[in-house]
């Protein structure tokens, strides 16, 4: 499997608006480059482009969302690291053959797919594989 780059790093936060006030001055940004709500994943996201790597602040939209559960267990902080791959399903297949555990299967996001490796298989880190092409960053 070939990893193209670190796609993004996600920080789980209790209050997205407050977190933006903390992080935006550090990054030299006055607003997110991409802000969205992903209802199926139960998250509200502020995404910033730092070079070719995304930096995401994520707030749960429900008390039973994965971000809320993460914060309840571990507190606010780095929740996941995402690797950009050419094809999520092919990468999953290759890693499954090597006995890496996954949490569920491939999921849809915009015009791509992503999947999560279980932290117990990768030194306690929630690792995401995503095949998003990031065409909007070409020529930037």
27-58 residue pLDDT tens: 999 999 999 999 999 999 999 999 989 999 99
What's the number of domains the chain is made of? Answer: 1
Residue 109's pLDDT band, with cuts at 50, 70 and 90, is: confident
- pLDDT (tens digit per residue) in 114-125: 999 999 999 999
Considering the domain boundaries, does residue 140 fall inside one? no
Positive or negative, the Cα torsion across 45, 3, 111, 135? positive
Query: What is the per-residue pLDDT for 136?
Result: 62
Which CATH number belongs to the domain containing residue 43 in this structure? 3.10.180.10
**Full domain range(s) for residue 38:** 3-134
125 within a domain of the structure (yes/no): yes
Q: How much is the pLDDT for 139?
A: 52
| Phi and psi angles of residue 117, each rounded to the nearest 5 degrees, phi first | -85, 140
**Residue 139 domain-assigned?**
no
pTM for this prediction: 0.89
Round to whole Å and give the CA distance between 45 and 61.
10
With respect to residue 96, please indicate whether it lies within any of the assigned structural domains: yes
- Is the separation of the CB atoms in 73 and 32 below 8 Å? no
């Amino acid at each position: 499997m070939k990893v193209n780059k670190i796609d993004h790093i996600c920080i789980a936060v209790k209050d997205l608006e407050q977190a933006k006030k903390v992080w935006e001055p550090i990054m030299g940004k006055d607003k997110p480059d991409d802000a969205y709500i992903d209802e199926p994943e139960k998250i509200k996201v502020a995404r910033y482009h730092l070079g070719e790597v995304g930096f995401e602040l994520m707030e749960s939209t429900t008390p039973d969302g994965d971000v809320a559960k993460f914060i309840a267990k571990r507190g606010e902080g780095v929740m996941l690291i995402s690797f950009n791959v050419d094809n999520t399903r092919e990468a999953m297949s290759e890693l499954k053959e090597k006995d890496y555990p996954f949490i569920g299967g491939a999921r849809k996001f915009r015009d791509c797919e992503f999947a999560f490796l279980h932290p117990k298989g990768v030194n306690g880190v929630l690792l995401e594989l995503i095949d998003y092409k990031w065409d909007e960053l070409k020529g930037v």
